């Protein structure tokens, strides 16, 4: 894969007869996501150089790139490994979708959500974080039968998510972004690990919906939002065994995550930190700090890669630079929060040693030609990291000015001085 050129994204299922991929001639390379009997198992990048991908090359790329995975799945079928048990149908689910004046994305997101097949009680809560006379969100939400609209006037993604979490009535609360599209079967795959009582959070994979522009390809080269195709778990022992800062950023994101609703009323965990996240100077990391608190409280987080969603990456370079700058600010703000609020000195190792080392290593790799990720974007990340402490201070001041967001107390929602209004679906 090259981060400098746009690529195609295609999805195949090896249970069905494979065919040549003819419609990729506008692209220099193609990322093929591979499923086996409806389960996402991996991906392979094919440099097709503006030519079709023949059946032989497609087969070779899949068999060579995913050989270990294919062998493991064949063995599992041979010994008849039991499939994960689904969560009982009497467990209710709330899906919280915050939005901020992105009508096209929201409409696509809600359409896919309503197409999910399920037998359980589901509620979809849309949180308008930029309400007002000109907001397109009420009209879009009203077009969907099972959607409840909430307004959160305090700006910031964490304020919006907390408003949705507080209003949710489901046993399981799911957080997704308005620019993701869920595939068939996503819901049940995401919530299945909750059959184990100790699991308090489950995160899923996030795949690029398109790689049509260099900026979208560069974001994938940066790391994207997905965390790979290997299932993993983290718990309190994993949390305490880390010698450096706890890498909760490797566990997924609230672009595709589910939680037991009880954690939000737990004094040891609570709601998202409103000083962290998009819409605040810190820019992100509200989810990584929530994961930190869940693990610190000795609970289990499961990363379930088969519960995947499509994400529409930023298309233009300016938006990408802003996004990466925000990610770096939020990353530093997260570590400072664990240091100052939780007394976790492991954050100092990350801030003073491993983070600067990683930046230098990436610059070196690009300079040697081992990576085509631009040095200019690494410099944007470094600038964001340096701005992190100031951004956190600004965000804390802003939260003091705005006041706290929504809270849960036991199974009850704490009122928010009229800052939230609910509108049932039409």
| CA separation for the pair 83, 137 (Å, rounded) | 40
**In which band, very low, low, confident or very high, does the pLDDT at 406 lie, cut at 50, 70 and 90?**
confident
| CA separation for the pair 326, 362 (Å, rounded) | 19
Domain membership flag for residue 83: no
106, 57: one domain: no
Least confident window among 48-57, 76-85, 89-98, 333-342? 76-85
Domain membership flag for residue 88: no
Asked whether the beta carbons of 380 and 323 are under 8 A apart, the reply is no
Where does residue 392 rank: exposed (0-12), middle (13-18), buried (19+ CB within 10 A)?
Answer: buried
249, 111: one domain: yes
Q: Dump pLDDT digits (tens) for 177-229.
A: 999 999 999 999 999 999 999 999 999 999 999 999 999 999 998 999 999 99
Report the pLDDT averaged over residues 2-9: 79
359, 301: one domain: no
Domain membership flag for residue 285: yes
56, 169: one domain: no
Asked whether the beta carbons of 348 and 406 are under 8 A apart, the reply is no
73, 21: one domain: yes
229, 264: one domain: yes
**pLDDT at residue 415 above 50?**
no
User: Which ranges in 91-233 belong to alpha helices (H)?
Assistant: 103-114, 137-142, 157-167, 186-191, 214-222
Quick count: other Cβ atoms within 10 Å of Cβ 365?
A: 14
Of 179, 121, 176, 182, the closest CA to residue 146 belongs to 121
Question: Which range of residues forms the domain containing residue 367?
Answer: 321-400
Domain membership flag for residue 15: yes
**In which band, very low, low, confident or very high, does the pLDDT at 408 lie, cut at 50, 70 and 90?**
confident
Of 78, 103, 128, the domain-final residue = 78
**In which band, very low, low, confident or very high, does the pLDDT at 397 lie, cut at 50, 70 and 90?**
very high
pLDDT for res 76: 75
363, 419: one domain: no
The whole-model pTM stands at 0.92
The three-state secondary structure class of 394 is helix
Domain membership flag for residue 84: no
Domain membership flag for residue 308: yes
Asked whether the beta carbons of 29 and 7 are under 8 A apart, the reply is yes
52, 124: one domain: no
**pLDDT at residue 171 above 80?**
yes
Look up the CATH number of the domain holding residue 275. Answer: 3.90.550.10
101, 162: one domain: yes
| CA separation for the pair 146, 142 (Å, rounded) | 9
**pLDDT at residue 59 above 90?**
yes
Q: How many domains does the chain have?
A: 3
414, 274: one domain: yes
Quick count: other Cβ atoms within 10 Å of Cβ 226?
A: 21
Asked whether the beta carbons of 34 and 41 are under 8 A apart, the reply is yes
**pLDDT at residue 82 above 70?**
no
- Summary mean pLDDT of the chain: 91
292, 334: one domain: no
| Residue of 405 and 203 predicted with greater confidence | 203
Q: To 10 degrees, what angle do helices 67-78 and 55-65 make?
A: 80
Asked whether the beta carbons of 268 and 296 are under 8 A apart, the reply is yes
Q: Dump pLDDT digits (tens) for 85-140.
A: 788 888 999 999 999 989 999 999 999 998 887 778 899 999 999 998 888 999 99
Domain membership flag for residue 2: no
**pLDDT at residue 417 above 60?**
no
302, 346: one domain: no
Quick count: other Cβ atoms within 10 Å of Cβ 337?
A: 25
Domain membership flag for residue 150: yes
Q: Dump pLDDT digits (tens) for 7-28.
A: 999 999 998 999 999 999 999 9
DSSP 86: P
**In which band, very low, low, confident or very high, does the pLDDT at 1 lie, cut at 50, 70 and 90?**
low
Q: Dump pLDDT digits (tens) for 293-312.
A: 999 999 999 999 999 999 99
pLDDT for res 419: 42
Instruction: Report the percentage of the chain scoring pLDDT > 90.
Output: 80
């Amino acid at each position: 894969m090259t981060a400098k050129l746009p690529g195609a994204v295609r999805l195949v299922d090896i249970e069905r007869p494979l065919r040549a991929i003819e419609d990729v001639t506008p692209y220099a390379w193609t990322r093929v996501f591979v499923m086996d009997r409806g389960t996402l198992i991996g991906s392979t990048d094919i440099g097709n150089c503006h030519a079709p991908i023949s059946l032989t090359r497609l087969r070779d790329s899949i068999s060579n790139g995913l050989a270990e995975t294919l062998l493991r799945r064949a063995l599992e079928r041979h010994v008849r490994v039991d499939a994960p048990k689904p969560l009982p149908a009497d467990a209710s689910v709330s899906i919280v979708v915050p939005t901020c004046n992105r009508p096209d994305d929201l409409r696509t997101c809600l359409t896919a959500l309503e197409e999910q097949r399920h037998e359980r009680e589901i509620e979809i809560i849309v949180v308008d974080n930029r309400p007002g006379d000109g907001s397109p969100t009420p009209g879009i939400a009203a077009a969907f039968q099972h959607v409840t609209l909430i307004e959160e006037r305090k700006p910031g993604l964490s304020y919006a998510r907390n408003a949705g979490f507080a209003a949710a009535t489901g046993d399981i609360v799911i957080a997704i972004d308005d620019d993701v599209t869920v595939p068939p079967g996503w819901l049940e795959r995401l919530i299945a690990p909750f059959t184990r009582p100790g699991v308090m959070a489950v995160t899923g994979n996030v795949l690029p919906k398109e790689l049509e522009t260099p900026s979208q390809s560069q974001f994938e080269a940066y790391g994207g939002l997905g965390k790979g195709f290997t299932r993993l778990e983290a718990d309190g022992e994993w949390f305490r065994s880390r010698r450096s800062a706890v890498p909760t950023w490797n566990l997924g994101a609230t672009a595709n995550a589910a939680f037991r609703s009880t954690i939000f009323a737990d004094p040891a965990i609570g709601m998202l930190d409103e000083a962290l996240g998009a819409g605040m100077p810190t820019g992100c990391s509200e989810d990584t700090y929530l994961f930190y608190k869940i693990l610190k409280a000795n609970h289990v987080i499961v990363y379930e890669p088969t519960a995947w969603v499509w994400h529409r990456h930023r298309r233009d370079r300016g938006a990408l630079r802003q996004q990466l700058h925000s990610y770096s600010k939020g990353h530093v703000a997260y570590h400072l929060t664990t240091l100052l609020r939780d007394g976790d000195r492991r954050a100092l190792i990350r801030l003073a040693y491993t983070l600067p080392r990683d930046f230098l290593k990436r610059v070196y790799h690009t300079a040697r030609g081992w990576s085509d990720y631009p040095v200019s974007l690494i410099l944007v990340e470094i600038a964001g990291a340096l701005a992190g402490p100031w951004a956190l201070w600004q965000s804390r001041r802003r939260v003091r000015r705005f006041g706290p967001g929504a809270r849960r107390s036991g199974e009850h929602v704490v009122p928010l001085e009229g800052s939230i209004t609910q509108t049932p679906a039409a």
